[in-house]
Chains A and B, each alone.
Chain A
Amino acid sequence: MARLLARFAEDMFWLARNMERAENLARILDVNETFSRDARGSQNWLSIVQLHAGAEGFFKKHQAATANAVINYYLLDPENSSSIAYCLKAARDNARTLRPLLSTELWTQANMFHAWIRTLTPADIGRADLSRLCSKIKEGCQTHTGILEGTLYRDEGWYFYQLGKLIERADQATRLLDIKYHMLLPSAAEVGSPLDVSQWNALLRSAAGYHAYRRVQPRGMSPASVAGFLIFNNAFPRSVAVSIATIDEIVVRLRQRYGLRAGNQTLEILDGLRGTLANRSIDMVLGGGLHEFLDWIQLQLIAITDDLGKSFFGHPPASQVQAQVA
């Protein structure tokens, strides 16, 4: 059997990322809707715009970060590359390119899912319907994941899919934490207040981690323990630690099984990430600044993505890119 085309490897990687991103966007919108049912509601919606570094694009189209504007922009706007509609269109395009490699069931679901999201209009996404809609989107993404798990042939392409999914998942876990920790809490006095606790609760639920968290922490809920859970827990499937450890395994197995020699830099970055995660406690992280730590992880994930591009997807090395530009 022939080796995997470099272009297909990249499409696999992005199919996973786009699907995972759509799912996480739905999680973020859903949890934010819950956060925003208080006096600071309008400010809360702005945090989503800031979270995606999308202020410029957003304010070109909308005057203020009202609930309707933000939901519309991140759910439906086909021109916003951080919208669910955009991600699902991109995922469908990836799947279309990859069709020779995908099972019919996997393709059909991606095709129908995209066709469904295209039928939504601003009238369908009012706040009253948002939670139900986000559930449907999550369900669609999880159906994709499930069909993939059950039908995708496990050759090289499968490994690149896993890499995309896990990198995106780690990235999104850091974003989800950031939105709560960095943006929402008005003052230190409110830490541990009923409002604060209910927000952490909602955040955990949006990551589908509430019950798992309860098994680790039967009583109480502190910012440190929730953040620690989402970053360090080595059994929760959406934690940063699990994503990083699995990425590492996948890269090693990919190289072993298919005799690929590239990807050294990725392994080095992963070593650094794993070492840091193993040697740090949540208190140390909070002491040094949670946002800064999450930011650092995001930068490492970007560096890994770049290296995968150069090692396996046929992207030119950085020096060459500069030479071409010059």
Chain B
Amino acid sequence: MSGILSRYDQGPFFCEIMGQAGTTAVEHTTAIRERLAQLDLAALQRRSEDAERELYNLGITFTVYSEKDAIDRILPFDVIPRILSRDDWAHLEAGVIQRVTAINLFLADVYGPQHALKDGIVPAELVLGNSNYRPEMIGVKVAHGAYTNICGIDVVRDDKGRFMVLEDNARTPSGVSYVLENRNMMLRAFPDLTTDISIRPVDNYGPKLQEAMVEIAPEGVADPQVVLLSPGTYNSAYFEHIFLAREMGVPLVEGRDLVVENDRVYMKTTGGLERVHTIYRRLNDDFLDPEAFRPDSTLGVPGLMRAYRAGNVALANSVGTGVADDKAVYAYMPRLIKYYMEQEAILDNVQTNICREADALAYTLDNLDKLVVKPVAESGGYGITVGPKASKEELEVCRASLLADPANYISQPTIQLSVCPTLVEGEVEPRHVDLRPFAITGKSTWVLPGGLTRVALRRGSLVVNSSQGGGSKDTWVLG
């Protein structure tokens, strides 16, 4: 092999373009490998710089706050795509739909009859004592039983190439804007790479989302008014909020633009108040309504929960979905799939030790240097201890935290995450990746082909979060 892959060594890992280590390269990427072989590093580097400059100029950024300034950063974009075969995708798609279905059945149960708790499938205190559990949701009717209308399921592959679910994001998953913008960028920057290869398109995400928002609107409204509710311009995901509002062609509102009168929601326009029927909210439960939740928050809309409970407005996602994507509840998901759907889970979980259980805690403490320990309440990669990479001191800190509050932690074996060739500092090297497919649920569930591939840009790092220096890649599902 010549060109940019000539010196590429995937190591012991499964590679998203080459396949399993020690075997011949997978067939479905042949055409793409041949094209990559024709690119030289300097040209690739140049195009990569062009692409990143364009992202910055377009303001496709997330915002990091320092003491003095808001700094816009781009999510570093890697120009070598990650490629999924048609069969792999069919498997993933079916697995995601099954998982989302189970999550919605679980939420309907938790805020309804609570069969799974009574039958002991999930410990009741794990659900009812969870900080994301919202008793305000009991008895609220949700259209089509769709609680998590927008759901992101984080998936990784092990050294055999097997897909496993790492985490469910049932609240307000971010990142879909990068999926669409990365694709735009690739199509423009690499005509030679993308011509005549059948890549499943991603640009119908906006219309699909809009369709679902209309499907969940209160009954009897002929032409429902949908809005996207953002915490505002200082939010780190503000670009995504703009992006989604624009893709759906709906107003991007903030809490101060909305008002509740007679349990109905209105937005303030130049001509006075206008009725709103569906809110895609990118605001956490806590901030949604100071009457119902945090009274000190000014980001939300006083009375919104009253309007919601009265059935006069739909919220996407529904309130209280966080109880299903909790890292502790996650461990029970395969059993919940079986319980509600009488099916085996199509996508396995990563083996998970629930430290609230004595055996799991003991096992975790004995194997700290081999395990990843995660607090169940945090997101964004904070508070995670990666055992094999941690210093002695870090492991001792972790041990103390575990002993102080075992119920706050789970542990998992370190998965040898798959890698993908990635342009780093002028060289193409393997870097670890994960994948977040996005599922939209209204009357039924649809999965955007592909999803967000995040890549750990530091050599050997398994942490792909943008807040921890990760980047992203375009994800191609071959058609």
Q: Is the CB of B270 within 8 A of A258?
A: yes
Q: Is the CB of B251 within 8 A of A260?
A: no
Q: How far is the CA of A115 from the CA of B59 in the complex (A)?
A: 11
When the two chains form the complex, which single residue of B58, B253, B269 contacts A108, counting CB atoms closer than 8 Å? Answer: B58
Instruction: Report chain B residues within 8 Å CB of A115.
Output: 57
B246 at interface, CB cutoff 8 A = yes
Instruction: Report chain A residues within 8 Å CB of B252.
Output: 100
The secondary structure that dominates the B interface is: mixed
When the two chains form the complex, which single residue of A2, A8, A97, A313 contacts B250, counting CB atoms closer than 8 Å? Answer: A2
B131 at interface, CB cutoff 8 A = no
CB-CB under 8 A for A100 and B59, given A2-B250, A4-B269 = no
CB-CB under 8 A for A111 and B59, given A2-B269, A4-B270, A260-B271 = yes
The secondary structure that dominates the A interface is: helix
How big is chain B's contact interface, by range?
Answer: 20 to 34
B144 at interface, CB cutoff 8 A = no
Q: Is the CB of B57 within 8 A of A314?
A: no
* Binary A-proximity of B231-273 (CB < 8 A = 1, otherwise 0): 0010000100010011000111110110000000001111100
Q: How far is the CA of A98 from the CA of B338 in the complex (A)?
A: 47
Q: Is the CB of B233 within 8 A of A96?
A: yes
Nearest Cβ distance between residue A95 and chain B, in whole angstroms?
Answer: 9
Q: Is the CB of A2 within 8 A of B246?
A: no
* Binary A-proximity of B261-290 (CB < 8 A = 1, otherwise 0): 000000111110010000000000000000
B412 at interface, CB cutoff 8 A = no
Q: How far is the CA of A136 from the CA of B374 in the complex (A)?
A: 53
When the two chains form the complex, which single residue of B57, B245, B256, B271 contacts A7, counting CB atoms closer than 8 Å? Answer: B256
Q: How far is the CA of A248 from the CA of B250 in the complex (A)?
A: 30
When the two chains form the complex, which single residue of B57, B58, B242, B257 contacts A100, counting CB atoms closer than 8 Å? Answer: B242
B225 at interface, CB cutoff 8 A = yes
Q: Is the CB of A112 within 8 A of B274?
A: no
Instruction: Report chain B residues within 8 Å CB of A2.
Output: 225, 250-251, 267, 269, 274
Instruction: Report chain B residues within 8 Å CB of A100.
Output: 242, 245-246, 251-252
Q: How far is the CA of A163 from the CA of B476 in the complex (A)?
A: 47
Nearest Cβ distance between residue B164 and chain A, in whole angstroms?
Answer: 37
- CB-CB nearest in chain A for B253: A5
- CB-CB nearest in chain B for A308: B270
Number of cross-chain contacts by CB at 8 Å: 63
Instruction: Report chain B residues within 8 Å CB of A259.
Output: 271
- CB-CB nearest in chain B for A99: B242
Q: Is the CB of A108 within 8 A of B57?
A: yes
Q: How far is the CA of A107 from the CA of B225 in the complex (A)?
A: 26
Instruction: Report chain B residues within 8 Å CB of A313.
Output: 270
Instruction: Report chain A residues within 8 Å CB of B242.
Output: 99-100
Q: Is the CB of A5 within 8 A of B59?
A: no
Instruction: Report chain B residues within 8 Å CB of A19.
Output: none
Q: How far is the CA of A97 from the CA of B234 in the complex (A)?
A: 10
* Binary B-proximity of A106-122 (CB < 8 A = 1, otherwise 0): 01100110010000000
Q: Is the CB of B270 within 8 A of A260?
A: yes
When the two chains form the complex, which single residue of B59, B238, B250, B254 contacts A107, counting CB atoms closer than 8 Å? Answer: B59
Instruction: Report chain A residues within 8 Å CB of B238.
Output: 96
Q: Is the CB of A5 within 8 A of B57?
A: no
- CB-CB nearest in chain B for A258: B271
- CB-CB nearest in chain A for B275: A2
Q: Which positions 1-55 of chain A face chain B at CB distance < 8 Å? A: 2-9
Q: Is the CB of B251 within 8 A of A6?
A: no
Nearest Cβ distance between residue A277 and chain B, in whole angstroms?
Answer: 28
- CB-CB nearest in chain B for A3: B269
Extra pairs beyond A2-B250, A5-B257, A260-B270 (7, CB < 8 Å)? A2-B267, A2-B269, A4-B269, A5-B267, A99-B242, A111-B57, A260-B271
10 A/B residue pairs, CB under 8 Å, sorted by A: A3-B270, A3-B271, A5-B251, A5-B257, A7-B256, A97-B233, A100-B246, A108-B57, A115-B57, A259-B271
